[in-house]
């Protein structure tokens, strides 16, 4: 710490601790040089476990943040911290209370409710695994299992868009369009998935690529960032998509969320059998 003191932060949860950890990190980001020692107490659901938590807090006194729904455990933690003269904060209580008033009903008070392993959860995991396995033209043999296949030149946000779609349970693959390199037969033969081209303004694309090369400490004077070559590359990619009647989305001024929203709209049309036109 900047002032030479070691601060301890105790995060207590009756579930995986993801929520309390996210809240803590979001808040800590507002304090420069704040680097407390974190003590993560997860899946705390019995009195015996709570005793160990309080022993740990006593050994390393510090701020306590918690997400507990069991009233007995909440009371035990609150009382224990009161005796130790340590601040103890139930971080979700204000939000849950406000939502209860808004909806006019009582919260269910089930630990880990947001992490229930339902069909939707497993669908997202399956889609995420699919996106990772089919990144950058990999695993082309089962493209027919995809919902969406994104094609485009390098640095047109294909991978992050696929990851975002996976969080919406959409199986998305992505394939790079490389100058003078033919597309895979499996891609051209795919009939079930919606194939979409992503493009970007050449000037913006050159800047993104230059930044990428700087991060990799690589030579920036290559065809990869040559404005004329990049412009030609983008034109060829657009022409290729047009030839195959693949809709094209210009991502130059779009966020990942906006691009994904457009893709979901096109996918809905595709699944309904409607004609899918160019989106940009």
Binding positions for ADP: 152-159
Instruction: List residues forming the annotated binding site.
Output: 152-159
Strand partners of residue 65: 11, 89
CB of 177 closer than 8 Å to CB of 273:
no
* Residue 2 CB burial class (10 angstroms; 0-12, 13-18, ≥19): exposed
């Amino acid at each position: 710490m900047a002032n030479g003191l070691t601060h301890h932060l105790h995060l207590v949860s009756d579930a995986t601790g993801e929520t309390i950890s996210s809240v803590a990190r979001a808040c800590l980001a507002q304090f420069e040089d704040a680097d407390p020692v974190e003590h993560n107490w997860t899946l705390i659901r019995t009195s015996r476990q709570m005793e160990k938590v309080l022993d740990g807090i006593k050994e390393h006194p510090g701020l306590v943040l918690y997400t507990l729904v069991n009233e007995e455990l909440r009371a035990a933690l609150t009382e224990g911290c009161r005796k130790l003269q340590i601040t103890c904060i139930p971080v979700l209580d204000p939000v849950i209370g406000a939502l209860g008033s808004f909806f006019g009903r009582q919260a269910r008070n089930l630990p880990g409710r947001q992490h229930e392993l339902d069909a939707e959860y497993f669908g997202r995991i399956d889609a995420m695994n699919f996106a990772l396995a089919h990144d950058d033209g990999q695993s082309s043999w089962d493209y027919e299992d995809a919902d969406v296949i994104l094609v485009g030149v390098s640095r047109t946000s294909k991978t992050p868009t696929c990851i975002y779609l996976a969080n919406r349970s959409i199986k998305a693959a992505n394939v790079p369009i490389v100058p003078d390199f033919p597309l895979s037969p499996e891609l051209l033969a795919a009939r079930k998935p919606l194939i979409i081209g992503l493009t970007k303004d050449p000037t913006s694309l050159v800047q993104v690529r230059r930044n990428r090369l700087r991060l990799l400490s690589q030579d920036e004077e290559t065809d990869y960032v040559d404005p004329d070559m990049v412009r030609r590359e983008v034109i060829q990619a657009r022409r290729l998509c047009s030839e195959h009647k693949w809709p094209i989305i210009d991502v130059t001024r779009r966020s990942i969320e906006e691009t994904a929203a457009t893709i979901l709209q096109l996918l809905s049309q595709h699944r309904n059998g409607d004609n899918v036109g160019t989106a940009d």
